[in-house]
Amino acid sequence: MEYRHLGRTGVKVAPLALGTDNILNPTPEAEAKKMILRGIEAGINLIDTANSYMRGEAERVIGETLKESGLRDQVLIATKAHYPTGPGPNDRGNSRLHLLRACEDSLKRLQTDYIDLYQLHRPVFDMPIDETLAALTDLVRQGKVRYIGSSTAPAWKVLEGILVSELKGYVRFVSEQPPYNLLDRRIENELVPMAQAYNLALLPWSPLAMGMLAGRYAEDNIRPEGSRARLRGGIYAERVTPRAVEVGNRFVKLAREAGYDPAQLALLWVKDQPGITAPIIGPKSVEQLEHLLPVLDMKLPEDIRIACDGLVPPGSAVANFHNSAPWMKMQI
């Protein structure tokens, strides 16, 4: 397997990361633990989670699994903070107060002394980033966090953090976690070039476009059983549009005619795009995980890359996977 550097660090990660947003919603705990162990066995060494996934219960399941198996030191735990953890005005955001509290709570649930990659789940625009970076720097110096990153932030906001860190001697972002798939390629316009210039790891989420690139959506008005569009609705359902489904099904046809499984090819396309470190997969079962694991050792042929560009040109989009980020004004 080709392991890749996590940005400018000396740490190497597998070209796929294991996402955990489905733990307990809908994946049962026993199945989730099996998925985590199978992923590690296959060579995946970055497990991504957040303190908001099932109100922290995903972190608990990860912590128990790694403690029971004795595999904590074989993996990198990446978690996030930002979203509300309580009803109060300070139970959210990227303030020093909230981040220090959130980190301590995550450490307890994960049953670990340190978090390998601590990420800002979303950016904040109404406070100086200095406060956030100073708090994260203290956590690193205390040994509670190894590296820091961000998620679903505009390129300028990530770069602001990098430059402020350089100016003031704060710990520096090593990664950004954006939405990215063949149906929404907008990060290629600014974020990807910036990440390549500043050696920032990119860990994309939703590489299968919620199943639209795996052939799960025959018609726009059908929400497949067990899909996020049906189970969660809201922003998830908003991403499923007639245009997105139509292009997604054209991709499915392309994949099958070329002899590929659509889900594997959709993931492979993201994995082998320029600047990408490791897309985050979010299987609901061990069976789904097994289906995606072969991508770890696959390479994207150039003719397939060109054919995909014909479906959705570089830098464009036919679905809005940035709809959980209010800063993205472009609508599809």
Please list the residues that pair with 277 across neighbouring strands: none
209 vs 203: CA distance, rounded Å: 15
How many CB atoms sit inside 10 A of residue 157's CB?
16
Nearest to 307 by CA among 275, 260, 244, 240: 260
Sheet harboring 46-48: ordered strands across? Answer: 201-202, 173-177, 145-151, 115-120, 76-81, 46-48, 17-19, 280-281
Residues 170-225 have pLDDT tens digits of: 999 999 999 999 999 999 999 999 999 999 999 999 999 999 999 988 765 566 66
- Given this model, what pLDDT does residue 202 score? 99
Enzyme catalytic residues: 53
Contact assessment for residue 264 and residue 213, using Cβ atoms and an 8 Å cutoff: no
Alpha helix stretches (DSSP H) within 43-128: 57-69, 96-110
Contact assessment for residue 203 and residue 50, using Cβ atoms and an 8 Å cutoff: no
For residue 280, give both structure tokens.
């985050």
For residue 23, give both structure tokens.
């733990």
Domain boundaries, the chain: 4-210+267-301
Please list the residues that pair with 201 across neighbouring strands: 175
- Given this model, what pLDDT does residue 190 score? 98
For residue 41, give both structure tokens.
């066995």
53 vs 72: CA distance, rounded Å: 20
Helices (H) and strands (E) in the chain, counts: 12, 10
30 vs 43: CA distance, rounded Å: 21
- Given this model, what pLDDT does residue 224 score? 64
Secondary structure (3-state) at 124: coil
- Given this model, what pLDDT does residue 330 score? 75
pTM for the structure as a whole:
0.95
Q: Which residues contact 138 (CB under 8 A, 6 or more apart)?
A: 100
Q: Which residues contact 161 (CB under 8 A, 6 or more apart)?
A: 129, 132, 133, 150, 172, 173
Q: Which residues of the chain have pLDDT under 70?
A: 219-233, 331-332
The amino acid that residue 72 corresponds to is R
Topology classification of domain 4-210+267-301: TIM Barrel (3.20.20)
Please list the residues that pair with 23 across neighbouring strands: 27
Half-sphere exposure (CA, 13 Å, Cβ side) for 67? 13
B/e letters for 258-273, b = 16+ CB within 10 Å, e = fewer, are eebbbbbbbbbbbbbb
Please list the residues that pair with 317 across neighbouring strands: 184
